[in-house]
Amino acid sequence: MMRLGFIGLGKMGKPMTRNLLRAGYEVTIHNRSRAVVEELSGEGARPATSPREVAEAADLVLTCLPTPATVEEVYLGEDGLIPSAREGQILVDCSTVGPALSRQLYAAARERGAGFLDAPVSGGPAGAESATLTIMVGGDKDVLDRAMPVLQALGTNIHHVGPSGSGTVVKLVNQLLVGINMAAVAEAVVFGVKAGADPQALLDVLQSSFGSSRMLTRGLPLIMERQFEGGTPINLILKDLGLIHEVGSALDVRLMLGAVAQEAFKEGRALGLGDEDMVALVKPLERLAGVEVRRTQ
11 is catalytic: no
**pTM, 2 dp:** 0.95
What pLDDT sits at residue 297? 74
Report pLDDT digits (tens) over 208-229.
Answer: 999 999 999 999 999 999 999 9
Pairing of strands 60-63, 26-30: unpaired
pLDDT at 230 over 80: no
Report pLDDT digits (tens) over 130-149.
Answer: 999 999 999 999 999 999 99
Cα 259 to Cα 245: distance, rounded to the nearest angstrom:
8
Report pLDDT digits (tens) over 142-175.
Answer: 999 999 999 999 999 999 999 999 999 999 999 9
Cα 248 to Cα 148: distance, rounded to the nearest angstrom:
31
Active-site option among 11, 14, 171, 283: 171
Report pLDDT digits (tens) over 87-137.
Answer: 999 999 999 999 999 999 999 999 999 999 999 999 999 999 999 999 999
What pLDDT sits at residue 296? 84
Cα 259 to Cα 293: distance, rounded to the nearest angstrom:
25
Report pLDDT digits (tens) over 178-188.
Answer: 999 999 999 99
